[in-house]
Amino acid sequence: MKTILIAGSSSGIGYELANLYLKKSYHVIGIARNEPLKFAKHEKYTHLKIDLKDNSNILILSNFLKSNFY
């Protein structure tokens, strides 16, 4: 299964990209401060409530990626 990580997936370009890749059967890991309502419960969508301006949140993201993809 192909997986893509998209920052800003709750609105705008990030939201549209997440939607596009879900339609192409990718597993989408979305990063945003807010959860997108349209595909929040999609079986191939994983949401991480993260603010990339906060260094501690970047550590959370790093740990998530290490534990799931290495």
> Which tens digit of pLDDT belongs to each residue from 30-57?
999 988 777 767 899 999 999 989 999 9
- Token readout for 60 is 């959370």
DSSP 26-62: -EEEEEESS--SSSTT-TTEEEEE--TTSHHHHHHHH
* pLDDT tens per residue across span 16-35: 999 999 999 999 999 999 88
Mapped onto helix, strand or coil, the DSSP state of residue 5 is: strand
CA–CA–CA angle 58, 31, 52 (5° rounding): 35
pTM: 0.85
Say if residues 24 and 69 touch (Cβ distance below 8 Å). Answer: no
Say if residues 48 and 68 touch (Cβ distance below 8 Å). Answer: no
